[in-house]
Amino acid sequence: MANGRNRRRRAPMSLRNVQVGGARPYRIDIGADLLRDGALLAQSLRGRHALVVSDNNVAPLYLQRTVDALRAARPDIRIASHAMPAGEQEKTLARFGNAIDALAALGATRDGCVYALGGGVVGDLAGFAAACWMRGIDCVQLPTTLLAMVDSSVGGKTAVDLPQGKNLVGAFHPPVAVIADTAALATLPARELRAGFAEVIKYGAIVDAPFLDWLAAHSDALLDGDADALSEAIARSCAHKAAIVERDPFEHGERALLNFGHTFGHAIETAQEYGTLNHGEAVAIGMVLAARLSTALGMATDTDTMILRALLQRFDLPTQLPAGLDPDTLLAHMRLDKKAQASGLRFVLWDGLGRARVVADVPEDAVLGVLRSG
Ligand X SMILES: O=C(O)C(=O)C[C@@H](O)[C@H](O)[C@H](O)COP(=O)(O)O
Ligand Y SMILES: NC(=O)c1ccc[n+]([C@@H]2O[C@H](COP(=O)([O-])OP(=O)(O)OC[C@H]3O[C@@H](n4cnc5c(N)ncnc54)[C@H](O)[C@@H]3O)[C@@H](O)[C@H]2O)c1
Is 255 noted as a catalytic residue in this protein? Answer: yes
* Three-state SS at 234: helix
157 is in an annotated binding site: yes
Query: Given candidates 167, 237, 270, 294, which one binds ligand X under the rule CB under 6 A?
Result: 167
Name every residue whose Cβ is closer than 8 Å to that of residue 344 and which is 6 or more positions away in sequence: 360, 361, 362, 364
| Interface with ligand X: number of residues (CB under 6 A) | 12
Give me the catalytic one of 241, 292, 333, 338. 241
Q: Per CB under 6 A, does 31 bind ligand Y?
A: no
Distances in Å between the Cα of 16 and the Cα atoms of 28, 32, 34, 105, 230 are 8, 10, 11, 36, 12
C-beta nearest to ligand X: residue: 167
CA dist 165 and 369 (Å) reads 22
Q: Per CB under 6 A, does 262 bind ligand X?
A: yes
| Interface with ligand Y: number of residues (CB under 6 A) | 33
Q: What is the DSSP letter of 144?
A: -
Query: Given candidates 81, 259, 270, 305, which one binds ligand X under the rule CB under 6 A?
Result: 259
178 CA to centre of own chain: 13
Q: Which is nearer to ligand X, 115 or 203 (CB)?
A: 203
CA dist 240 and 233 (Å) reads 11
Find the Cα–Cα–Cα–Cα dihedral 178, 183, 184, 186, rounded to 10°: 150
**49, HSE (Cβ side, Cα atoms, 13 Å):** 17
Q: Per CB under 6 A, does 166 bind ligand X?
A: yes
Q: Per CB under 6 A, does 237 bind ligand X?
A: no
Q: Per CB under 6 A, does 192 bind ligand Y?
A: yes
Name every residue whose Cβ is closer than 8 Å to that of residue 347 and which is 6 or more positions away in sequence: 263, 290, 293, 339, 358, 359, 362, 367
140 is in an annotated binding site: no
CA dist 58 and 83 (Å) reads 8
Q: Per CB under 6 A, does 121 bind ligand Y?
A: yes
281 is in an annotated binding site: no
CA dist 166 and 88 (Å) reads 10
Query: Given candidates 31, 88, 139, 264, which one binds ligand Y under the rule CB under 6 A?
Result: 88
Is 252 noted as a catalytic residue in this protein? Answer: no
Site map for ligand Y, 249-278, x if CB under 6 A? -----------------------------x
Is 218 noted as a catalytic residue in this protein? Answer: no
Is 346 noted as a catalytic residue in this protein? Answer: no
Name every residue whose Cβ is closer than 8 Å to that of residue 252 and which is 6 or more positions away in sequence: none
CA dist 140 and 85 (Å) reads 20
Query: Given candidates 53, 103, 132, 184, which one binds ligand Y under the rule CB under 6 A?
Result: 184
Query: Given candidates 82, 157, 309, 346, which one binds ligand X under the rule CB under 6 A?
Result: 157
Q: Which is nearer to ligand Y, 183 or 291 (CB)?
A: 183
Q: What are φ and ψ of residue 237, in 5° steps?
A: -65, -45
Q: Which residues are catalytic?
A: 135, 157, 199, 241, 251, 255, 259, 262, 266, 279
Q: Mark the binding-site residues for NAD(+), compressed into ranges.
A: 120-124, 144-145, 157, 166
Interface residue list for ligand X (CB under 6 A)? 151, 155, 157, 166-167, 199, 251, 255, 258-259, 262, 338
Q: Mark the binding-site residues, compressed into ranges.
A: 120-124, 144-145, 157, 166, 199, 262, 279
Interface residue list for ligand Y (CB under 6 A)? 55, 57-58, 61, 86-88, 91, 118-122, 124, 144-145, 147-148, 151-152, 155, 157, 166-167, 184, 187-188, 192, 195, 199, 278-280
